Amino acid sequence: METLNGFCRRSGELLLPPAEPCHLDPGALWIPEDRSEQATGHRWNAATGSGYCGRPLAGPTSGVLGECAPCRIAWEQAETYRQTIILPRRRTRAASWPYRTLDAFSARADSLEPGDAYTLSGCSERHFVVEATSRRSDSHTVLLVYVTGEDRIAECRIRRDRLVAVERPVLAA
């Protein structure tokens, strides 16, 4: 009986995987993990893996929601910096890609470095790494990326051991 309970618990977990978006839609509002106050949406912060206000979040929602004020203020500051300061530089770098000598190989996500570009299954975009943060204890690595097709800076949080196709510029000797 114990075994059956254990099995049911495990299969329950399998049926409810946490949402794992690739790069994040900056317009997305998320609902809190405890599902309370479903009328209020939050902004997900890849660096912390929770809302900008500190609340654990369950996943993005497409419903029309009010917005958590602390999340909105912190997110707007981060977003303004990304789209006005970081974006133009990354756009220039991405434009130089066809003229560069690139090493192409498969690697774990936690080996990505700023300056790399990568693609992965499940997302049609090429991602240029702006920042990569991976603490030894974390199961995920957090990336700030330039997404070429959408022409914007976005956050990603992907499993460290996820395989990605990397393009890394070969430095001239």
Residues of this chain that bind Zn ion (CB under 5 A) = 22-23, 42, 51, 53, 68, 71, 123, 125
Least separation in angstroms between CB 49 and Zn ion: 14
Nearer to Zn ion, 71 or 153 (CB): 71
Tokens of 23: 């790069």
The sign of the torsion formed by the CA atoms of 161, 163, 164, 167 equals: positive
Q: What type of residue sits at position 23?
A: H
Tokens 């946490």 identify what position?
A: 18
Nearer to Zn ion, 51 or 90 (CB): 51
Nearer to Zn ion, 39 or 173 (CB): 39
Least separation in angstroms between CB 41 and Zn ion: 8
Nearer to Zn ion, 65 or 123 (CB): 123
Least separation in angstroms between CB 102 and Zn ion: 19
Task: Specify the 3-state DSSP secondary structure of 172.
Answer: coil
Q: What type of residue sits at position 86?
A: I
Question: How much of the chain is helix, strand and coil, in % rounded to 5?
Answer: 25, 35, 35
Least separation in angstroms between CB 75 and Zn ion: 9
Q: What type of residue sits at position 10?
A: R
- Please list the residues that pair with 169 across neighbouring strands: 102
